[in-house]
């Protein structure tokens, strides 16, 4: 799945698309965590495999991805031609991919009765905890950009 990131590198303006991909995924991940911690205490547990995930965190991650995608288009209009609906769609589907990757990894940990997927990266829960969102979001982002921007 991560090979889709390498496919981005052969596009015209590749550095912008790679930057957008990482921006969408990392901001979605960070905002989901931030909003979940700050506002999601009363609506956690809607997913049995990961009881600390909250609806507010989910929504916060998606909104952050949309906002960052729209800001990216605003600052780099020559890279993302067309209307704002395209970047809106790419941002939403990439955010869903990132969140899905995080949830899949949580399911693996829950069924393995493991809290963290390793201790190589202190404070991050392991390597898989750090890249779970990137793995699932990569093909989704690539396909969205490929079809919506005719690349």
Q: Token pair for residue 47?
A: 């997913």
Residue 129's pLDDT is what?
Answer: 60
The DSSP bridge partners found for residue 44 are 54
The answer to whether the CB of 25 falls within 8 A of the CB of 50 is: no
pLDDT tens digit sequence for 94-119 = 999 998 888 777 666 566 555 555 55
The DSSP bridge partners found for residue 54 are 44
Highest mean pLDDT among 70-74, 104-108, 118-122: 70-74
Q: pLDDT band at 123, cuts 50/70/90? A: low
Residue 150's pLDDT is what?
Answer: 78
Would you say residue 48 has pLDDT above 60? no
- Average pLDDT of the chain? 80
Residue 33's pLDDT is what?
Answer: 84
How far apart, in whole angstroms, are the C-alpha atoms of residue 81 and residue 38?
Answer: 36
């Amino acid at each position: 799945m991560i090979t889709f990131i390498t496919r981005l590198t052969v596009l015209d303006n590749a550095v912008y698309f790679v930057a957008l991909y990482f921006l969408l995924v990392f901001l979605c991940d960070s905002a989901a965590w931030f909003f979940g911690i700050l506002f999601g205490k009363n609506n956690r547990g809607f997913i049995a495999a990961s009881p600390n995930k909250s609806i507010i965190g989910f929504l916060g991650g998606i909104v952050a991805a949309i906002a960052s995608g729209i800001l990216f288009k605003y600052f780099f209009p020559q890279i993302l031609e067309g209307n704002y609906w395209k970047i809106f769609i790419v941002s939403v589907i990439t955010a869903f991919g990132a969140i899905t990757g995080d949830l899949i990894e949580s399911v693996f940990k829950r069924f393995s009765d493991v809290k963290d997927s390793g201790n190589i990266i202190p404070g991050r829960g392991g390597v898989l905890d750090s890249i779970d969102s990137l793995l699932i979001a990569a093909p989704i982002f690539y396909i969205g950009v490929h079809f919506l921007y005719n690349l």
